[in-house]
Amino acid sequence: MPTGRGALAAQVVDGKIYAIGGVTSVSFTPVAANEVYDPSLNSWEAKAPMPTPRGWLSGAVVDGIIYAIGGGPDTPTNKVEAYDPATNTWSTKQDMLSPRRGAQAGVVNGIIYNVGGNRNQRNCEAYDPATNTWTSKQEMPGAGGDVAVTVYNGLVYTFGGGMDNTPYANVYAYDPQTNTWSQKRDMPTPRFAFQAYLVGGKIYAIGGTQSNGTALATVEAYDPVADTWETLADMPEALAWFAGAVVNEKIYVISGSPDWGQSGTGDIWEFDPAVGWRKITRIPTLRGALTAGVIDQKVYVIGGATVAPWSDLAANEACDVSSKAWEPKEPMPTPRGWLSSAVVNNTIYAIGGGYPTPTSKLEAYDPVANTWSTKKDMLSPRRGAQAGVVDGIIYNIGGNASERNCEAYDPATDTWTAKQPMPGAAGDVAVTVYNGLVYAFGGGLEGTSYANVYAFDPQTNTWARKRDMLTPRYGFQTYLVRGKIYAIGGTNSMTGALAAVEVYDPASDTWETLEDMPLPLAWFAGAVVDNRIYVISGTSDGGYSGTGDVWEYTPPSPAVGVEASYELPKHFVLEQNYPNPFNPTTVVRYQLPSAGDVTLAVYDLLGREVAVLVRGRADAGVHEVTFDASGLSSGVYLYRLSTGDFVQARRLLLLK
pTM: 0.56
Q: What is the dihedral of CA 160, 162, 167, 171, to 10 degrees?
A: -20
- Better-scored residue on pLDDT, 407 or 289: 407
Instruction: Round to whole Å and give the CA distance between 500 and 488.
Output: 6
- Better-scored residue on pLDDT, 268 or 114: 114
Q: Average pLDDT, stretch 39-61? A: 92
Closest to 97 (Cα-Cα) out of 136, 52, 65 = 136
Quick one: pLDDT band at residue 597, thresholds 50, 70, 90? confident
For residue 564, pLDDT beyond 50 = no
For residue 247, pLDDT beyond 60 = yes
For residue 28, pLDDT beyond 90 = no
Q: 487 near 475, Cβ under 8 Å?
A: no
For residue 518, pLDDT beyond 60 = yes
Q: 98 near 75, Cβ under 8 Å?
A: no
- pLDDT of the residue at 233: 77
DSSP calls for 317-357: EEEETTTTEEEE-PPPSS--SS-EEEEETTEEEEE---SSS
Instruction: Round to whole Å and give the CA distance between 340 and 431.
Output: 10
Peptide bond preceding 579 in cis form (omega within 30 of 0): yes
Q: Average pLDDT, stretch 468-479? A: 94
Q: Which residue type is seen at 375?
A: K
Quick one: pLDDT band at residue 561, thresholds 50, 70, 90? very low
For residue 493, pLDDT beyond 80 = no
Instruction: Round to whole Å and give the CA distance between 435 and 480.
Output: 11
- pLDDT of the residue at 369: 97
Q: Average pLDDT, stretch 552-558? A: 73
**pLDDT, the chain, mean:** 89
Q: Average pLDDT, stretch 474-494? A: 90
Q: For a pLDDT cut of 90, what percent of the chain falls above it? A: 56
- pLDDT of the residue at 470: 92
Size of the chain, expressed as the number of residues it contains: 656
For residue 262, pLDDT beyond 70 = no
Residues 6+ apart with CB under 8 A from 208: 148, 160, 167, 191, 192, 193, 194, 195, 215, 216, 218, 240
Q: Which residue type is seen at 305?
A: A
For residue 495, pLDDT beyond 80 = no
367 phi/psi in degrees, rounded to 5: -65, -30
- pLDDT of the residue at 563: 32
pLDDT tens digits, residue range 624-634? 888 989 999 99
Q: Average pLDDT, stretch 589-604? A: 88
Name the DSSP class of 427.
B
pLDDT tens digits, residue range 185-206? 999 999 998 999 999 899 999 9
Q: Which of the residue ranges 114-123, 376-385, 537-546 would you say has the lowest mean pLDDT?
A: 537-546
Q: Average pLDDT, stretch 315-324? A: 88
Q: 614 near 625, Cβ under 8 Å?
A: yes
- pLDDT of the residue at 270: 82
Residues 6+ apart with CB under 8 A from 648: 40, 248, 572, 573, 574, 640, 641
- pLDDT of the residue at 565: 33
For residue 367, pLDDT beyond 50 = yes
Instruction: Round to whole Å and give the CA distance between 146 and 168.
Output: 10
Q: Which of the residue ranges 194-198, 253-257, 306-310, 439-443 would you say has the lowest mean pLDDT?
A: 306-310
Q: Which of the residue ranges 46-60, 205-219, 296-310, 593-607 would you say has the lowest mean pLDDT?
A: 296-310
> Own/partner pairs for 456-459, CB < 8 Å, 24+ apart?
456/395, 456/397, 456/406, 456/419, 456/420, 456/422, 458/390, 458/391, 458/393, 458/395, 458/408, 458/419
- pLDDT of the residue at 71: 93
- Better-scored residue on pLDDT, 255 or 61: 61
- pLDDT of the residue at 558: 45
Cα–Cα distances in angstroms (integers) from residue 509 to residues 102, 295, 464, 512, 581, in the given order: 52, 30, 12, 10, 11
3-state secondary structure of 140: coil
Largest CA distance in the chain: 85
> Domain 573-654, what architecture?
Sandwich (2.60)
Instruction: Round to whole Å and give the CA distance between 398 and 419.
Output: 12
Residues 6+ apart with CB under 8 A from 385: 340, 351, 352, 396, 397, 398, 399, 400, 403, 405, 428, 429
Q: Average pLDDT, stretch 430-459? A: 92
pLDDT tens digits, residue range 126-152? 999 999 999 999 999 988 889 999 999
CATH placement of domain 9-275: 2.120.10.80
- pLDDT of the residue at 225: 92
- pLDDT of the residue at 544: 52
Q: Which of the residue ranges 187-191, 233-237, 378-382 would you say has the lowest mean pLDDT?
A: 233-237
Buried/exposed code over 290-305 (b: 16+ C-beta within 10 A; e: otherwise): bbbbbbeebbbbbbbb
- pLDDT of the residue at 639: 92
**What stretch(es) of the chain map to CATH 2.60.40.1930?**
573-654
For residue 527, pLDDT beyond 50 = yes
**What stretch(es) of the chain map to CATH 2.120.10.80?**
9-275, 280-554
Does 280-554 carry CATH code 3.30.230.10? no
Measure CA 573 to chain center: 16
For residue 543, pLDDT beyond 60 = no
Q: Average pLDDT, stretch 277-305? A: 87
Closest to 447 (Cα-Cα) out of 491, 400, 413, 485 = 491
Quick one: pLDDT band at residue 494, thresholds 50, 70, 90? low
Instruction: Round to whole Å and give the CA distance between 299 and 533.
Output: 11
Instruction: Round to whole Å and give the CA distance between 226 and 185.
Output: 10
- pLDDT of the residue at 127: 97
Instruction: Round to whole Å and give the CA distance between 443 and 399.
Output: 8
For residue 541, pLDDT beyond 80 = no
Quick one: pLDDT band at residue 307, thresholds 50, 70, 90? low
pLDDT tens digits, residue range 73-117? 778 999 999 999 999 999 999 999 999 999 999 999 999 999 998
Quick one: pLDDT band at residue 379, thresholds 50, 70, 90? very high
